[in-house]
Amino acid sequence: MLPVSRRNSYLVRCAIIMSDEAASSDKADGSVRLSIDGREIVTKEGQMLLQAALDNGIEIPHYCYHPKLSIDGSCRMCQVKVEGERKLAISCNAPVREGMVVDTQCAEVEEARRGVMELLLVNHPLDCPICDQAGECFLQDYSAGYGSAHARTSEARRKGVKRHPIGERVIFDQERCILCRRCVRFTQEVTKTDELRVFGIGDHSHIGTMPDAPLDNDYSVNVADICPVGALLSSDFHHKRRVWFLEDSESICPSCSQGCNVNLGTFRNEIQRIVPRRNDEVNETWMCDRGRLRYAFTSDETRIREARVQEAGEAPRPIPLSEALDKAATLLASARIEPNSVALLASAHLTNEESFRLATLAADNLAESNVLLPIETGPADGFLIQEERAPNGRGAREMGLIPRGMDLQALWAAIADGTVKTLYVIGSDLLKIIETDQLSDELAKLDALIVQDSNESPLTAIATVVLPGLTFAEKDGSFTNYNGRVQRIRRALEPTAGLLSDGEIFAGLEARLSGNPERPFSAAATLEEIADSVAGYAGMSFASLGSMGVPVAGGQEPAPSPSGGARVPQAGET
């Protein structure tokens, strides 16, 4: 041992501990065995102690650490006692070592946590009754364990700007901020747009933006997710509902083919908010603002809640769904005598199970009719926004909804000249590709327009038969994202009584067109059929898909890390 003074011995010991020799595992597979609160934990070399603890269900309180952002080490809340070290270590930045013995519950650790809490609470405003974060606030939760009901200071708290629209979709409250800097690191490392910075110094530090440079990127509301307190909040959800009233359902965002994993927060059968769910293979912990905020359509006044029929020369009138199915089947049956005169426009918003059933229907009962799959597209941004602006284009194609016959341009011309006389359209993506404001004129020559959709559109307004469909939030099923990951959606909202899912509608049409007794549609059973017959989907079931999904066998590139390297383009750039 080198001769060192007592004052330096701690530093020397740290140097030895931090050196490669001591830190590396002595196992070939790089695994490290350590003990936390008497529990043996096995983790990988290079892992930080905090992440290892969280992965094993051990709660260590923390603010500034986030698994998808760089390590900050500023909040000091994650301090734990490591045997053999004189001072407490911050577990977020403590690499695991073989044989490490960690105590997260001893008196010294508790005192440290109480100290951090007291200092944070000195200036934190008493906003809980009016703050949206109540119920999911780190400060509130840790106060229960480590806070104090009485302040030891009597000076007035510091003042700051309150409910400041720091971006179009985000509200900032300076007084509530605890300066964990998660938001700053997000705009630096994930979106690479650098809007948020820390201004001032020491006790005068505060988060802000440069003048004329508000928080303005396609992922801005993610900062409200990661803010541990109510300093950054989603404007859309501001003062909307207390989070303890929300029922959470796991689902998949339907706004593009990325398939970001989400949680739908519902109350009284309406979606109140959508927040991202962690899936390291798809969206890490992020989602784009566009998808996050697009949910009102599931329960607003544009929802179609009953079937309709419009005979020639008459006004449209509501009819029972079974009658509408009869009518639609009759129209299709008479039309298919002239096969090329029928066109089926399927939708990439249908689940795999529904697409499979529709493909069967098309093959058995609408053979030789044209099949199209119009999908709205837009520019991919190199991060999470994909080109196809629908959740299941790949799934629809792999289930057999492969375009045949005319393409959309040819179809439009064929309608105009009367070759195609019967259209069965699901959804309204077609209108995002062919833009027209003379829809009823251009479709005037059709004998029959059957439209199946969840929301009113210019198509449903002129349809002969309107079949009410369900939104993604009202169905059980699966979507296959652009990269071949098959992921579950779950029913989070109860549909209007009497409505059928799109799959059940296909079953009803199939029975009427074939004359056979109806083969009832069940999403779970259909997925098992798919597992037996579609290449790449072998062995899949709702249970196997679970919360994280399952990749299609052999059909995908290795999952790219969404935040690895790609820079979110600024407005005006391509």
Partner 1 sequence: MATRVVKVDREKYRRAAGPFGAKAFLAGFRVTAGHFFRNLRGWLIGKPSVATVMFPEEDLVKPPAFRGMPVLVEMENGKERCVACGLCEWACPVDCIHIEPGETEDEVERYPQVFDIDMSRCMYCGLCEEACPEEAIVMSERVEISAFTRAGTLWRKKDLLMPVADLTRRLEHIRRDYDRR
Q: Which of 312, 316, 296, 173 is nearest to 234 (CA)?
A: 173
Is 348 within 8 Å of 388 (Cβ atoms)?
A: yes
The two tokens of residue 113 are 């946590």
Shortest distance, CB of residue 61 to partner 1, whole angstroms?
Answer: 24
Binding window for partner 1 (CB under 8 A); candidates: 94-102, 175-183, 241-249, 331-339: 241-249
Tokens 């079974």 identify what position? 322
CB of 496 to partner 1, least distance (A): 23
Of the two residues 158 and 432, which places its CB atom closer to partner 1 in the complex? 158
Strand order in the sheet with 477-480: 477-480, 485-489, 550-551
Q: Does 410 bind partner 1 (CB under 8 A)?
A: no
Chain-centroid distance of CA 123 in Å reads 35
Answer yes or no whether residue 296 interacts with partner 1 by CB under 8 A: no
CA distance 18 to 34: 16
Contacts of residue 221, defined as CB under 8 A and 6 or more positions apart, other chains included, come to 169, 170, 234, 236, 289, 292, 293
Alpha carbon distance 96, 31 (integer Å):
10
Q: Shortest approach of partner 1 to residue 242 CB, angstroms? A: 4
125 touches partner 1 by CB under 8 A: no
Using the rule CB under 8 A, which residue among 44, 157, 158, 162 binds partner 1?
Answer: 162
**CB 130, min distance to partner 1, A:** 4
- Yes or no: say if 222 and 276 are a contact pair by the CB < 8 Å rule: yes
CA 222 to chain CA mean position, Å: 11
The residue among 134 and 511 lying less far from partner 1, judged by its C-beta, is: 134
What is the spatial distance between Cα 439 and Cα 450, in angstroms, rounded to a whole number? Answer: 15
Stretch that binds partner 1, among 234-242, 274-282, 375-383, 449-457 (CB under 8 A): 234-242
Q: Does 238 bind partner 1 (CB under 8 A)?
A: yes
Reading the block at residue 52, the tokens are 């290892």
Q: How far is the CB of 173 from partner 1 (least distance, A)?
A: 9
Give CA–CA dist 234/253, Å, rounded.
Answer: 18
**Would you say 69 or 243 has its CB closer to partner 1?**
243
The span of 232-240, 343-351, 489-497, 542-550 binding partner 1 (CB under 8 A) equals 232-240
Rule CB under 8 A: say whether 165 interacts with partner 1: no
Which listed residue (38, 57, 129, 564) binds partner 1 by CB under 8 A?
129
What is the closest distance, in whole angstroms, from the C-beta atom of residue 268 to partner 1 in the complex? 10
How far apart are CB 159 and partner 1 at their closest, in Å?
12
Q: How far is the CB of 229 from partner 1 (least distance, A)?
A: 16
Stretch that binds partner 1, among 127-135, 207-215, 334-342, 369-377 (CB under 8 A): 127-135
Closer residue to partner 1 (CB): 272 or 464: 272
Could you list the beta-strand ranges (E) of 213-332: 232-234, 247-252, 261-267, 270-276, 307-309, 317-319
Are the C-beta atoms of 473 and 460 separated by less than 8 Å?
Answer: no
Stretch that binds partner 1, among 192-200, 237-245, 297-305, 448-456 (CB under 8 A): 237-245
358 vs 558: CA distance, rounded Å: 30
Q: Is 21 helix (H, G, I), strand (E, B) or coil?
A: helix
Phi-psi region of 46 (alpha: psi -120 to 50; beta: other; left: phi over 0): left
Does residue 130 bind partner 1 (CB under 8 A)?
yes
Among 18, 19, 245, 413, binds partner 1 (CB under 8 A): 245
Q: Which is nearer to partner 1, 199 or 245 (CB)?
A: 245
* Euclidean distance between CA atoms 336 and 504, whole angstroms: 22
Residue 158 CB, nearest approach to partner 1 (Å): 17
DSSP SS3 for 248:
strand
**Which range touches partner 1 (CB under 8 A), out of 129-137, 332-340, 396-404, 494-502?**
129-137
Residue 156 binds partner 1, judged by CB under 8 A:
no
CA 454 to chain CA mean position, Å: 21
Smallest gap from Cβ 164 to partner 1, in A, equals 12
Site size toward partner 1, by CB under 8 A: 13
Cα 7 → chain centroid: 52
- Considering the complex, state which of residue 227 and residue 361 has its C-beta at the smaller distance from partner 1: 227
134 binds partner 1 (CB under 8 A): yes
Nearer to partner 1, 230 or 276 (CB): 230
Query: Least separation, in Å, of the C-beta of 163 and partner 1?
Result: 6
Residue 10 or residue 245: which is nearer to partner 1 going by CB?
A: 245
Segment 262 to 281, residues that bind partner 1, using CB under 8 A: none
Q: In the chain, what are the helix, strand and coil shares in percent, each to the nearest 5?
A: 30, 20, 50
Least separation in angstroms between CB 162 and partner 1: 7
> Rule CB under 8 A: is residue 128 a binding residue for partner 1?
yes
The residue from 13, 197, 241, 278 that contacts partner 1 (CB under 8 A) is: 241
Nearer to partner 1, 127 or 338 (CB): 127
By residue count, the chain amounts to: 574
Residues 6+ apart with CB under 8 A from 246: 265, 266, 267, 272, 273
- Candidate list 13, 33, 164, 240; residue touching partner 1; CB under 8 A: 240
Contacts for 120 with CB less than 8 Å, ≥ 6 apart: 139, 178
Site stretch for partner 1 (CB under 8 A), options 6-14, 236-244, 483-491, 518-526: 236-244
Cα angle 556, 560, 566 (rounded to 5 degrees) comes to 140
Q: Which is nearer to partner 1, 150 or 204 (CB)?
A: 150
Q: How far apart are CA 257 and CA 190, in angstroms?
A: 20
CB of 126 to partner 1, least distance (A): 9
Residues between 63 and 122 with contacts to partner 1, criterion CB under 8 A: none
Under rule CB under 8 A, residue 163 binds partner 1? yes
Q: Going edge to edge, which strands form the sheet with 448-453? A: 317-319, 307-309, 465-468, 448-453, 422-426, 342-345, 370-372
**CA pair distance 427, 448, nearest whole angstrom:** 16
User: 240: helix, coil or strand?
Assistant: coil
Residues binding partner 1 (CB under 8 A): 128-130, 134, 162-163, 238-242, 244-245
